[in-house]
Structure 1
Amino acid sequence: MPESAALARSPERSNTPLDDSADAPIARDVCRGIMRLFARNGIWCLPEMPLRNGRRADLMGVDAKGRVVIVEVKVQRGDLLGDGKWPDYLDHCDRFFWGVPPGLDRSPLDSEDYRPDCCGVIVADGYDAEILRPAPLNPLAAARRKVEIERLSRTALRRLTVAADPECAPWGTGDIA
C-alpha cells in the first residue's frame, strides 16, 4: 500500500501541504523531488512528521551521521509570506530547509525575516531537486537529537505497520508495559 494511503487513514493527518487542497499536487511533487535528492545523499525522510511543540514538519529526515533535517514546503507566495510558525521548527533539527517549486518567487527567503544565515533553500519538482542554498549545521544537543530520532523512528514504524495492516490504526501509540 502506498505511503499516501497510509497517511490518509492516519490519526496524525491534518491540513498540511500534502492534503487534498488545490496546491496539494504541487506540494507532493516538491516533496517527491526533495526525497529523491535526499535519498541519493543518504538522507531518509518522513512526510508530515508531528513535532512535540504541536507543529508538523512537511519533511523530516535523518542523514547518515544521525543529523536531523527538516524541510518546510511552500508552493504559494502568500503562504510563504504568511508563515510565522517556521522558527518553531529550528529547535527540532540540525539543518532547516525551505522547499519550493521552480516558479515560486524566492526573493523573500533572502530577507533577514527568513534568516538565510540558518535556513537552506531547495527547489524541486516531481522528478528531482537542487539545493540552491545549503543549510548551515546548527547542532542539536545530543539528548534532544536522540528524542527527535526516536520519535521519527516510532512514527515511521507505526505508519508502515498501519500500511501493512490497517486494522492496527486505532491501537496504541504508547509503550508496551
Structure 2
Amino acid sequence: MQDQTLQPGQILARGVARHLRQHDFVSIEEFVPVRGLRIDVFALGPGGEFWVIECKSSRADYAADSKWHGYLEWCDRYFWAVDAAFPSELLPAETGLIIADGFDAEIVRMGPETRLAPARRKKLLQKFARDAARRLQGWRDPGVSVLSDPSSPSRPSR
C-alpha cells in the first residue's frame, strides 16, 4: 500500500496490524482463504492461533456486510475493528471488538474462542506462509513476480 491514498478501512487495518504486532501477532491484509471471501486482517498469533478482523469504517459499510458469518469457520477468534466514532452497539455482542485508528488500536472485547480443526489450521498456515512470501517477493522484485506466479492470469504461457 505504498504511494497511494488509503481507504478508511485500510487505515483501520494498519492500526490493527500495528497493535497486534505488539502482542506478537503477524498479519496479512486482504487475505483470501477461499474464493469468495476476503478478510480485512488475518492474524497469526505466537501459539498458532488465527484471528479474523473485519474493519468497518461506517454504519453503511457494516450494513452492507452480509458475509461475516462465513468468516467464523476460518479463525479461532473473530473481531470487528471500528473507529471511536462508530456506533459499536450495532455489532454483535458475541464477537470481539477492536477500536482503531491509523496508528494503533485497543482490544475492547475479546472474541470467543472456537478452535479450528487441525486439518484446516494446517491448510491455513500453509496458505498464510505462501501468500506472505509471494507478497514479499512481489514487493522485492515486482517485474519477476508475474512471471513466476503460477496463479497469475497474466503469466505468459510456455
Match of 2:42 among 50, 54, 60: 60
Q: Which amino acid aligns with 2:149?
A: G
- Residue aligned with 1:103, SS: coil
Percent identical across equivalent pairs?
Answer: 32
C-alpha RMSD of matched pairs (Å): 1.8
The reply on whether 1:172 has 2:154 as its aligned counterpart is no
Work out the number of aligned pairs and report it: 150
Q: Which amino acid aligns with 1:166?
A: P
Query: What is the Cα deviation at residue 53 of structure 1?
Result: 4.0
Query: What is the Cα deviation at residue 127 of structure 1?
Result: 1.7
**Structure-1 residue corresponding to 2:120:** 144
- Consecutive unaligned residues of structure 2, counting only runs of 5 or more, are 152-158
**Structure-2 residue corresponding to 1:133:** 109
- Residue aligned with 1:169, SS: helix
Q: Of the two structures, which has the highest relative contact order with CA contacts closer than 8 Å and spacing of 6 or more? A: 1
Contact 1:102–1:124 at 8 Å: present in 2 too? yes
4+ aligned runs moved over 4 Å, structure 1: none
Change (3 A) 1:53 1:90: farther
TM-score computed with the length of structure 1 as normaliser = 0.79
**Structure-2 residue corresponding to 1:105:** 87
CA distance in 2, matches of 1:41, 1:133: 15
Query: What is the Cα deviation at residue 169 of structure 1?
Result: 2.5
CA distance in 2, matches of 1:31, 1:168: 28
CA distance in 2, matches of 1:80, 1:131: 19
Q: Which amino acid aligns with 1:159?
A: R
Query: What is the Cα deviation at residue 28 of structure 1?
Result: 2.5
- Residue aligned with 1:55, SS: coil
Query: What is the Cα deviation at residue 134 of structure 1?
Result: 0.5
Contact 1:30–1:126 at 8 Å: present in 2 too? yes
Match of 2:52 among 66, 70, 73: 70
The reply on whether 1:84 has 2:66 as its aligned counterpart is yes
**Structure-2 residue corresponding to 1:163:** 139
- Consecutive unaligned residues of structure 1, counting only runs of 5 or more, are 9-18
TM-score computed with the length of structure 2 as normaliser = 0.88
